[in-house]
Amino acid sequence: MEKLPLISKVNGFVKRPLLASFIASIMSFASGTVVAGWTAPETPAVVGETLFMPRSMEQSSWIVSIYVIGALIGALPAGKIAKRIGSKKCLLLLAAPMHFGWLIIMFFVNQIYLIYLGRLLCGLSLGAVTVVVPLYNYDVSPDTCRGRGGVYLDFMLCAGILYSYMASSVMGLAIFSFTCSLIPIVFYVLFSFMPESPHYLYNRGRYVDAKSALKWLRGENYKVDAEFDRFVRLKNEDNSPSIYYEQKNIFKKAIVLSLALATIQRLSGTGAIIQFTAKLFKISGSSVEPITASIITGIFQLIGSAVAIQLIDKVGRRKLLLVSSAVVVLCLTMLTVYFYYLNKGTLENSSLKILPIFIVCTFIVFFRLGLGPIPWFMTTELLGGDHTNSGAQSYVASYSWILSFFVMQTFLPLVAAWPVALWFGYGVLSAIGFFVILFYIPETNNKSDDEIRQSLMQ
């Protein structure tokens, strides 16, 4: 029988699912330390690319981006593994590669290829987390708070990034890596007391455990019969050829829209901006110290994501995506203009050199308001929570990480050689993305599986 959580005295129809989603997202905090662990400080006394003494720009780029290769590999089987062993057990297992990846880096701080290996292991965990945490949140959350639970993934990622920015400015690599290796252990201990997905338990014939999990998540007085009826209906649909063919076009549309959201998110260039914040401010000639700029942008990331938590279930996904996308396009346009005049030499000794930090902070806040968090969990909403499409969710996540790797690998040479063209290109792609959202992305806020499918049929 599934072990009941020890903290079962938490009250409220919404509080318990949000608590479970939040604790699941501690692995996203750990992922944030990987994403921003090598944002480049300018002195080798702190964590950063110079601490590893890379001999070339290529080594520097690989230190930053190799975790993305691990992420796309880790994402591929994650959905199917979660379907087979359960989202909870899958997440608990993912703590291991994250923990050991940081330990390898801690013990081999001067070995570039072992650092690659450690980053790769962390990336395997990170990629799988971006698939399994949204699946877990979808299963444990009612429609009314599914958005808030979904944004926790991004919020905790931002918290981990900010921690890295701040800790790497005062710690050596070995100590920094040690602290990061502790985060998966904290997650494992806390998440052990959370319930397994009721949907998974029901499909495995563990009806008593499924009922216990639902009672804990929804409250002791919750009537589980309606939820069980939904599980039965989903199971029957999985086994019905006629319904399968009826839903085939809906599934194809959901896949296309999910891939579109991932493309819009990644090709805004945000991943590279986060990874190379300090270097970006150095190239831009900004008067703000690179490390200070990194910490400031990290704070603004966290603020943007926190605002998204408050708005996501009230305002809806579409409106936040549109506002986020519009401001991202505006900021990319401003960066294009700034670098154009910087290259012409008209900004020498100008007070306008402080502009990049304002532009980037605005960019980051509004990205985290919509384009950052929403695509991750909206994919699960569009594809459905019946776990039949968990493989498709993995493929979408892997596609997202492939795009991320492309952006990471090309950013440094392009921003150094053709910065105006780079920002202009990101701006054009983001503008196209705005219109894709405007005309094609449906609203999923507070909608059930059936209601979302109906909106996809239109």
Domains of the chain: 15-457 (1.20.1250.20)
Q: Mean per-residue pLDDT for 424-441?
A: 95
Per-residue model confidence (pLDDT) at position 40: 40
Distance in angstroms (rounded) separating the CA atoms of residues 202 and 208: 9
pLDDT over 70 at 151, yes or no: yes
Most confident of the following: 218-222, 439-443, 454-458: 439-443
* Predicted confidence (pLDDT) per residue in 381-431, tens digit: 898 755 455 678 899 999 999 998 888 778 878 877 888 898 999 999 999
**In this predicted model, what pLDDT tens digit does every residue of 159-195 receive, in sequence order?**
998 998 888 778 878 898 999 999 999 999 999 999 9
- Distant-in-sequence, close-in-space partners of 39: CB < 8 Å, separation ≥ 6: 48, 164, 165, 168, 274, 275, 276, 277, 278, 294
Q: What is the chain's mean pLDDT, rounded?
A: 83
Residue-level pLDDT at 4? 44
d(CA 197, CA 168): 36
Instruction: Read off the pLDDT band of 236 (50, 70, 90).
Output: low
Distance CA 306, CA 329 (A): 22
Alpha-carbon gap, residue 91 to 87, rounded angstroms: 6
CA neighbor of 29 nearest in space, from 250, 169, 187, 147: 187
The CA-atom distances, in angstroms, between 451 and each of 150, 259, 311, 443, 447 are 19, 21, 21, 10, 6
Q: Is the pLDDT of residue 346 over 80?
A: no
Q: ∠ CA 279-280-282 to the nearest 5 degrees?
A: 65
Mean pLDDT of 37-64: 50
User: Which of 325-334, 353-362, 420-429, 434-443 bottoms out in mean pLDDT, i.e. has the lowest?
Assistant: 353-362
Read off the pTM. Answer: 0.86
More confident residue, 97 or 342: 97
Rounded Cα distance, 1 and 398, in Å: 34
Confidence at residue 287, expressed as pLDDT on a 0 to 100 scale: 63
Which of 323-336 are b and which e, b meaning 16 or more Cβ less than 10 Å from the residue's Cβ? bbbbbbbbbbbbbb
Query: What is the share, in percent, of the chain residues with pLDDT greater than 70?
Result: 83
Task: Say what the pLDDT of residue 157 is.
Answer: 94
- Token pair recorded at residue 278: 């300090």
Distance in angstroms (rounded) separating the CA atoms of residues 151 and 165: 21
Instruction: State pLDDT tens for residues 246-280.
Output: 567 788 888 999 999 999 999 998 887 776 776 67
Task: Calculate the CA 45 to chain-centre distance.
Answer: 30
